[in-house]
Amino acid sequence: MEREQEFSVSCPIPLQRYPNITLAHGAGGKLMHGLIEELFLPAFSNPALDARHDSAVLSHGAVNFAFTTDSYVVQPIFFPGGDIGSLAVYGTVNDLAMAGARPWCLSAGFILEEGFPMEALWRVVQSMQQAAEHVGVCIVTGDTKVVDKGKGDGIFINTAGIGVIERDVSLSPQRVQPGDVLLLNGDIGRHGIAVMAVREGIDFETEIESDLAPLSGIVGALLEESPEVHCMRDLTRGGLATALNEIAQTAGVGIEVDENRIPVREDVQGACELLGLDPLYVANEGRFITFAAPSDAERALCVLRAHELGAGASIIGSVTDSSSSRVIIRSAIGVPRILDLLSGEQLPRIC
Amino acid sequence: MRFVDEYRDAKAAEQYARAIARITTKPWTIMEVCGGQTHAIVKFGIDQLLPEGITLVHGPGCPVCVTPVELIDKAIEIAARPEVIFCSFGDMLRVPGSHGDLFAAKAAGADVRIVYAPLDALKIARENPDGQVVFFAIGFETTAPANAAAVYQARQQCIGNFSMLVAHVLIPPAMEAILDSPSNRVQGFLAAGHVCTVMGYTEYEPIAETYAIPIVVTGFEPLDLLQGVFMCVKQLEQGRAEVENQYNRAVRREGNRHAQNLIREVFEVVPRKWRGIGEIPRSGLRLTGPYGEFDAEQRFGVANYAAEEPSECISGLVLQGAKKPHECPAFGTRCTPETPMGAPMVSSEGACAAYYRYRHSAIST
């Protein structure tokens, strides 16, 4: 056969959109955003929801509240640096903190699978209690359901939280404006790698611990000192890259960051290189970004660094303009490129 | 991080770029063969550091991209069987077959699991003696030894419920096919460093000689790639056509003999169809001899599948370096990572995915 004929160019059939939910719909990438934008938001639309903040901000008389909810399905339920119980408390507390709220009370809903060990449940509950005490919130209401064996994954927890916005602050993506300086409170990627290492049975020379931590304290300190903070967002599923894109799109601004200024611990970097993952997309549970007015940026950095959860804080970039809603990252060798949302899950590459 | 940061130094990169510009007197088109190299080039913006005359075109070295559509269909068919636990590297799950992908098969009830190594699949087979565990063995020479080892162990340990759906392809025949094409414009190759860690580079020597084309075995970090380009341009400018080794911290001329022996023990070389390109003689691997019983195509009776690849996207031209991803009319509009038309838009090593992810609104200016 002639080579020319062998090189007949062909292409696969276009894939229809998924008729069923896939795991990628929950991974924080474009598929999940599509689900939210096309299915949930139109159905439930209202001003509090449409603000698309980590918490809904509600007013009653002169009092402003933040209200949020999150479900926790992490596997394994015990991982270096935390467990599903402390995660269920701190995760929701952090969403409240991002609205500038002091966490006040939580609900806890447990979905348990038949056969789940009572001892493990007790450990989880104790961990939740200690976490709640640590941040000064009460778990004031709850619910328990048990499903048939094989219909759950041991334990799922949902928590909802209410916080009180005591200061005269208004934090939201819409307040982000060109010129704002972008701060990050420490190294990224540790939670995701810690969980993945246990899940996949990967051993590293040193154990990588999750960065799981309650952010209400450091946020309180920051707001006390730096009134010109415009927005904060915690970096959970989808990592720093996803949070930056969400803010850029909601605020209608461009964001530029410098890869060399984003701290990644060496062992986390090594694990990412090994697994073919990009730390910019790996989950965190104790990290957040702050958009501060340029006049307040240095002061904000000092406050962050003075707190134990911000010792590794740095200025990683700035808000550029309002023309593109794009995140641009200056690569390690200084060339700019787009930092986009992922489609779905970050898939480890093969070689 | 040691052994990484040294190869991402911005100042050294700039010096290399200047050195390349100094020795370049004519325009040259160089192909980086491996998809991992393509991603590093686009991610770090290496092509933007090069002088105008140097064009990098992206090669067929993305195993996910070149796996033919009927093999994806076979994978989905096998995975859908109730007794099967189907194990795959993550990359393959979103690649479209004729009527869906493995993610959708999973959502519809198939037991599809992402593994990081073929031995993980073998472990799953040991732990599930009542099920059939199938591993989707894709890749170039780089992944072949580990996949061979899994089948070798399965036979040694009599793990009868393990099998492999093999989609292995070989790099040198693809490079020759590109050079034979009348529309070829490649004047020099950056050969895939990881493939050469296994195979060495003796098999590239006849190619360099026959086609009078320089081939530089190249690594994956920014400075590796810049040095590879420098060495390739130098050969072109001097009129030489040799095989040189930039990636000498990992690659020896003879490669890894143990790994090669294992591949030869378990696999035989066969013709294979490449997605978007067509059949290339002696370009694939198949389980051979006593290892044939671990062939999932035979075990599940899906050997004679055929699927048509319709001709809307230009992935074939992209995989041969004849076109850049953004020259496709569907790029970024009808073809995106969420609705991929071709595999290069899916894989983390696919050229279209690299362009989409890092520069879909041309920020290079």
Q: Choose, out of B44, B49, B179, B197, the residue to mutate when testing the contact with A (most A CBs < 10 Å).
A: B44
Architecture of the CATH domain A173-338: Alpha-Beta Complex (3.90)
Cα A336 from Cα B212, distance rounded (Å): 36
pLDDT the model gives residue A1: 38
What confidence category does residue A17 fall into, taking pLDDT thresholds of 50, 70 and 90? low
- A56-165 folds as 60s Ribosomal Protein L30; Chain: A; (3.30.1330)
Give the residue-averaged pLDDT of A264-288. Answer: 91
pLDDT at A13 over 70: no
B331 secondary structure, DSSP code: B
In chain B, the largest separation of any two C-alpha atoms, in whole Å, equals 66
Residue B109 has a pLDDT of 92
More confident residue, B133 or A323: B133
Among partner residues A6, A15, A342, which is closest to B100 by beta-carbon distance?
A: A15
Chain B nearest CA to A258, separation (Å): 12
For domain B65-170+255-299, the CATH architecture is 3-Layer(aba) Sandwich (3.40)
pLDDT class for A3, splitting at 50, 70, 90? very low
Sequence spans of domains, chain B: 5-62+181-245, 65-170+255-299
> Looking at the partner chain, which of B46, B138, B309 has a beta carbon nearest the beta carbon of A10?
B309
Fold for the domain defined by B5-62+181-245: Rossmann fold (3.40.50)
Write out pLDDT tens, residues B281-306: 999 999 999 999 999 999 999 877 77
Q: Which of B91, B279, B309 sits opposite A12 (nearest CB)?
A: B309
Q: Measured between CB atoms, which of B89, B97, B139 is closest to A348?
A: B89
Q: How far apart are CA B352 and CA B101, in angstroms?
A: 18
- Mean pLDDT lowest among A18-32, A236-250, B203-217: A18-32
**Range with lowest mean pLDDT among B30-34, B104-108, B109-113, B203-207:** B104-108
Residue ranges covered by each domain of chain A: 56-165, 173-338
pLDDT score recorded for residue B336: 84
**Does the structure show a pLDDT above 70 at A26?**
yes
pLDDT digits (tens, 9 = 90+) for A216-228: 999 999 999 877 9
- With CB atoms and an 8 Å threshold, state whether A335 touches B49: yes
Smallest CA-to-CA distance from A67 within A163, A158, A141 is with A163
Least confidently predicted of A78-87, A329-338, B90-99: B90-99
* pLDDT confidence of residue A8: 31
Q: What percent of chain A has pLDDT above 70?
A: 92
Least confident of A84-93, A114-123, A330-339, B208-217: A330-339
Q: Do B279 and A266 touch (CB under 8 A)?
A: no
Q: In this predicted structure, what is the pLDDT of residue B304?
A: 76
pLDDT for B126 equals 97
pLDDT at res. A181:
97
At residue A22, the pLDDT reads: 80
Is A169 or A310 the better-scoring residue by pLDDT? A310
Q: Do B5-62+181-245 and B65-170+255-299 fold alike per CATH?
A: yes
**Chain B window 231-270: which residues touch A at a Cβ cutoff of 8 Å?**
none
pLDDT interval class at A16 (50, 70, 90): very low
Instruction: Closest CB to B340: pick one of A15, A270, A338.
Output: A15
Instruction: State the Cα–Cα distance between residues B55 and B60, nearest whole angstrom.
Output: 16
The whole-chain average pLDDT of chain B stands at 91
- Chain B residues with CB-CB distance to A254 below 8 A: none
> Residue A168: is its pLDDT beyond 70?
yes
Cβ <8 Å between A351 and B316: no
Please check the confidence at residue A253 and state whether its pLDDT lies above 90: yes
Q: Give the lowest-confidence range in A177-191, A335-349, B313-327.
A: A335-349
> Among A100-114, A185-199, A318-332, B306-320, where is mean pLDDT lowest?
B306-320
What does the alpha-carbon distance between residue B256 and residue B260 come to, in Å, rounded to a whole number?
Answer: 6
**pLDDT beyond 60 at B270:** yes
Provide the pLDDT for residue A345. 64
Give the count of Cβ contacts less than 8 A between chain A and B: 200
pLDDT at A4 over 70: no
B317 and chain A: CB distance < 8 Å anywhere?
A: yes
Q: Which residues contact B55 (CB under 8 A, 6 or more apart)?
A: B27, B28, B29, B30
Per-residue model confidence (pLDDT) at position B339: 77
CA distance A133 to chain B (A): 38
pLDDT at position A87 is 97
Residue A347: closest CA among chain B residues belongs to which residue?
A: B90
3-state DSSP assignment of residue B32: strand
Which residues of A fall within a CB distance of 8 Å from B92? 350
In this structure, what are the phi and psi dihedrals at residue A120, rounded to the nearest 5 degrees?
Answer: -65, -40
- Segment B269-281 shows an average pLDDT of 89
**A16 by DSSP, 3-state: which?**
coil
Write down the pLDDT at residue B11. 92
Contact B193, B251 (CB under 8 A): yes
Which of A286-290, B200-204, B278-282 has the weakest average pLDDT? Answer: B278-282
Q: Which residues of B touch A332 (CB under 8 A)?
A: 8, 10, 44, 222
Q: Does B184 touch chain A (CB under 8 A)?
A: no
Q: Are the beta carbons of A11 and B194 separated by less than 8 Å?
A: no
Q: Is the pLDDT of residue A15 over 50?
A: no
Q: Please, which residues 269-308 of chain B have a Cβ atom closer than 8 Å to chain A?
A: 275-280, 308
Mean pLDDT along residues A7-34: 61
Mutate which of B95, B348, B355, B365 to test chain A, going by most A C-beta atoms within 10 A?
Answer: B348
Taking contacts as CB-CB distances below 8 angstroms, the residues of chain B near A3 are: 177, 180-182
Report yes or no: B150 and B119 within 8 Å, Cβ to Cβ.
Answer: yes
What's the whole-number mean pLDDT along residues A340-350? 66
pLDDT band at A256 (very low <50, low <70, confident <90, very high): very high
Per-residue model confidence (pLDDT) at position A53: 86
Q: What is the pTM for the complete model shown?
A: 0.84
Alpha helices in chain A (DSSP H): 3-6, 30-35, 41-44, 47-50, 84-97, 118-135, 190-200, 216-225, 239-251, 266-275, 294-306
Checking if the pLDDT of B276 tops 90, the result is no
Q: How far is A309 from chain B (nearest CA, A)?
A: 23
Q: Which of A6, A270, A337 faces B358 most closely, judged by CB atoms? A: A337
* Residues A187, A189: Cα–Cα separation, whole Å: 7
Q: Please provide the average confidence, as pLDDT, over all residues in chain A.
A: 89
**Average pLDDT in the A7-29 region?**
57
Q: What does B134-201 look like in DSSP terms, one character per residue?
A: EEEEEESTTTHHHHHHHHHHHHHTT-TTEEEEEEEB-HHHHHHHHHHSTT----EEEEEHHHHHHH-S
Residues B168-183: tens digit of each pLDDT: 999 999 999 999 988 8
Residues 6+ positions from A3 with CB-CB distance below 8 Å: B177, B180, B181, B182
Average pLDDT over residues A83-102: 96
Q: Is the pLDDT of residue A185 over 90?
A: yes
Which of the residue ranges A42-51, A133-142, A284-293, B90-99 would you say has the lowest mean pLDDT? B90-99
The whole-angstrom distance between B207's CA and the closest CA on chain A is 17
* pLDDT (0 to 100) of residue B363: 36
